[in-house]
Amino acid sequence: MKQISTRLRCVLLVGALVCTALEAQAATVSSTFAPTQVVQGSTLSVNGMGTRYRAVFKVYDLALYTSSKVTTPEALLALPGPKRLSFVALRDMPGTDLGLAFIKGLNSNSAPELVQKHAASSTRLIEIFSGKPKLVTGDTFAMEYVPGKGTTFFIQGQPQGAPVGDAEFFNMVLKIWVGPSPADFKLKDALLGQ
């Protein structure tokens, strides 16, 4: 009986350690992000940052830049002005996989009629990442929204074509990470500073 009790304690201890490690995952960012970014003359500050995990593997670090601090998805989506998402790849990944994951996120978090309405902008997103056969560990990519101009995609700091979409499209993009079915719930909380 004493042996069972000892085993049970060990199992409970290991379970507690695993839960603690998983809880800390999104808040632990290995990449260094600038505390501010200037987008179209506006200085944006880090609203939150975290790590995207797929199972137990780190995929990318992500920072959300906004003009003022927000803590809810509703406040973020209603916030006027420029916004920026900055990523650092933490593992090698095919560009097409990343583009398709973004499209899956759009479909999971936005109404079908909105996805259809912004099909051209979404297609551009796939084209950009499909044009790069592979993102390697350390590669950077970003998405910047500027009111009246649209969303510009960057790989390694270089703009990838003309801006696309409008505020509604960029809000759809944001919902990939802060919508009702986010890519990673812990990352959602981290981006919203929770």
pLDDT at 105: 94
pLDDT at 11: 38
pLDDT at 148: 96
Structural domain contains residue 150? yes
pLDDT at 2: 55
Query: How many CA within 13 A on the CB side of residue 83?
Result: 28
Domain that holds residue 97: 28-191
Per residue in 99-122, pLDDT (tens digit) is 888 889 999 999 999 999 999 999
Question: What is the distance between the alpha carbons of residues 164 and 124, in angstroms, rounded to a whole number?
Answer: 8
- What stretches in the chain show pLDDT beneath 70? 1-28
**Rounded (5°) CA angle 108-112-118:** 100
Structural domain contains residue 2? no
Structural domain contains residue 21? no
Structural domain contains residue 17? no
Find the CATH number of the domain harbouring 129. Answer: 3.50.70.10
CB atoms within 10 A of CB 142: 22
Structural domain contains residue 7? no
Q: Count of domains in the chain? A: 1
